[in-house]
Amino acid sequence: MNSDSIIVSNLSKRFSFPVKNPSAGWVKNLFAPETKEINAVDDISFSVKSGERVAFIGPNGAGKSTTIKMLTGILFPTSGKANVLGLDPSKDRKKLAYQIGTVFGQRSQLLPNLPLTDSLEFFGVMYDLTDKQIKARVAELVDLFDMGSFINQPIRKLSLGQRMRAEVAASLIHKPKIIFLDEPTIGLDVVAKKSLRDLLLKINKEENTTIFLTSHDVGDIESLCDRTIVINHGVLIKDLPTRELSQVFVREKNIDITPETTFDEFPELPEGINYGAKDKNKITVVVDINKIGVQEALRKLLDLFKVDDVDVYDTDLETVIRNIYESNPTRQ
């Protein structure tokens, strides 16, 4: 059994900021402003085992990045505890930094004007590797991430896909036990996304690196992570294997109906069934399974249409996740 890499207990982060009161004078607004408080992260608890690949998802402003920043020692929690690799991130930030890697998809840690090799060597020194270790690790990463063709190019001349590979490689220079990735595939094309996901899977398998990832990209979640934690309004609302995500949250079934000849009219559907798409050669209906069972829905649809073929399937993961985000947060 793998040991826990991350243990989070009742972790909260509250931000307070001054708000201008239009009815108060400028003196009051300047010296005694009213403050507004936001619970960015509200009493969340979970743990992650060594070598796990965890997606930490939620809509914008859900508290994902704030949680990652508390786990990496960037932000101090308001209350609760975080333990990462046996260390308290808020007290042992530097010690912890030697054992973790971070990639923030929207920010670059590389030196823009210099060749990639300089950035990698620079990070090697930062992580206290010897010159020999740096040389060996850079060669290993160049090979693993297939960066040979652009290792000597200045960072600012790399494509976004190449840069993101370089960002991940730089964060792995010291062989971290955990890598935190905050939207690593943002802006990448499908080929670059796949390439990055494959690399992350590879380092997870070969180096047993724990992956803790936030992303809005369903592909990242499906192809990379075997576990998903869902957070919304700062509250942890679900923590389950990714493959079960659809089953647990599915509220709808889709049914594709192919006509014997063509559909000439589209009659009104029974309660709980709605048209998803109307075409004379195929219609798709969405069945709300909280209102009507699939068997009942099929019977009613067969009464309405003369069909040649019927295909019943689950809602895709993206829709499932959207449904989760749109629902009111209920603590798990």
Partner 1 sequence: MKAIRLGNKIVRTLVRDRMYYPDRLIVDTFGIIVRCGVLLVLYWYVFSLNDGMINNTTYIVAAWSMFFYFAFSVFRLRDISRAIMQDVQSGNVEILFSKPVSYLSYRMWWQVGAGLYPFLVISLVGTIALALIVGLPATMSVGIFIPTVVLVVFLGTLLSLFLYAVVGLLAFWIEDINPVFWIVDKTVMILGGSYLPVALFPDFMYKIALWSPFGASQFITHTVYETWATEWVMKIGIQVFWVLVVAIIVSVLFAKAREKVSVNGG
Report the distance separating Cα 77 and Cα 71, nearest Å.
Answer: 9
Judged by beta carbon, residue 65 or residue 195, the one nearer partner 1 is: 65
Backbone angles phi, psi at 198, to 5 degrees: -60, -40
Closest separation between CB of residue 92 and partner 1, Å? 11
Strands lying side by side in the sheet with 53-57? 100-104, 178-182, 210-214, 53-57, 227-232, 235-241
Judged by beta carbon, residue 128 or residue 326, the one nearer partner 1 is: 128
Judged by beta carbon, residue 46 or residue 305, the one nearer partner 1 is: 46
Contact 117, 136 (CB under 8 A): no
Find all residues with CB under 8 Å of 77, minimum gap 6, and list them: 11, 12, 13, 41, 70, 90
Across 184-209, b (16+ Cβ under 10 Å) vs e yields bbbebeeebbebbbebbeebbeeeeb
Across 60-82, b (16+ Cβ under 10 Å) vs e yields eebbbbbbbbbbbbebebbebeb
Closest separation between CB of residue 128 and partner 1, Å? 5
Judged by beta carbon, residue 66 or residue 215, the one nearer partner 1 is: 66
Closest separation between CB of residue 68 and partner 1, Å? 8
Pairing mode, if any, of strands 227-232 and 100-104?
unpaired
Judged by beta carbon, residue 107 or residue 132, the one nearer partner 1 is: 107
Judged by beta carbon, residue 145 or residue 180, the one nearer partner 1 is: 180
Class of residue 313 by CB neighbours under 10 A (exposed 0-12, middle 13-18, buried 19+): exposed
Closest separation between CB of residue 8 and partner 1, Å? 15
Contact 116, 166 (CB under 8 A): yes
- Token digits for 169? 């490689």
Closest separation between CB of residue 216 and partner 1, Å? 13
Closest separation between CB of residue 231 and partner 1, Å? 11
Judged by beta carbon, residue 11 or residue 97, the one nearer partner 1 is: 97
Closest separation between CB of residue 62 and partner 1, Å? 9
**How many CB atoms sit inside 10 A of residue 113's CB?**
10
Contacts with partner 1, residue ranges (CB under 8 A)? 15, 17, 40, 61, 63-69, 72-76, 93-95, 97-98, 100, 102, 104, 106-107, 109, 111, 113-114, 118, 121-122, 125-128, 182
Closest separation between CB of residue 253 and partner 1, Å? 35
Q: Which of 185, 115, 190 is nearest to 150 (CA)?
A: 115
Judged by beta carbon, residue 38 or residue 144, the one nearer partner 1 is: 38
